[in-house]
């Protein structure tokens, strides 16, 4: 799995960090998401998919 994060779209909701803390974090200053693991380990894949589904800014895509 490859996770792609579009920081230009990100609104800093932090929803991805809630559903997938192994894969995402937020910058301190503006809350924009950062990718911790572009290719998440198997046990973090479902969390990454969930993050892509719920992101209110459509900033995350997951290629299987």
Partner 1 sequence: MLSRVVVVGASAAGLTAAEALRREGFTGELTIIGDEVHSPYDRPPLSKQILRGAWEPDRIVLRPDALLADLKASWMLGTPAAGLDPIGRKVVLADGREIGYDGLVIATGATPRRLPFGHDLAGVHLLRTLDDTLALRDGLRSARSMAIVGAGFLGAEVAAVGRESGLEVTMIDPLPAPMIRQFGAELGGLLAQLHQSRGVNLRCGVGVSALTGEGGRVAGVELSDGSHVTADLVLVAIGATPATSWLATSGLRLGDGVECDQYCAAAPGIVAAGDVASWHHPRIGRRRLEHRMNATEQATIAAKNLLGAKIPFAPVSYFWTDQYDVKLQVYGRSGDDLDFHIVAGDPTEGRFAALYGDGHHVTGAMAWNLPRHARLLRAHVANQIPWKEAVAPISTNVGG
Chain residues in the site for partner 1 (CB under 8 A)? 11-15, 17-18, 26-28, 30-32, 53-54, 56-58
Least separation in angstroms between CB 40 and partner 1: 19
Structure tokens at 58: 């459509």
Q: What is the DSSP letter of 1?
A: -
Least separation in angstroms between CB 26 and partner 1: 5
Query: Which of residues 40 and 49 has its CB atom nearest to partner 1 in the complex?
Result: 49
Judge contact between 54 and 15, C-beta under 8 A: yes
Least separation in angstroms between CB 56 and partner 1: 5
Radius of gyration of the chain (CA): 10
Chain centroid offset of residue 63 CA: 13
């Amino acid at each position: 799995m490859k996770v792609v994060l579009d920081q230009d779209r990100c609104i800093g909701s932090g929803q991805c960090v809630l559903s997938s803390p192994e894969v995402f974090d937020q910058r301190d200053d503006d809350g924009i998401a950062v990718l911790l693991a572009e290719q998440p380990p198997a046990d973090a894949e479902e969390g990454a998919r969930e993050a892509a589904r719920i992101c209110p800014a459509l900033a995350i895509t997951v290629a299987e």
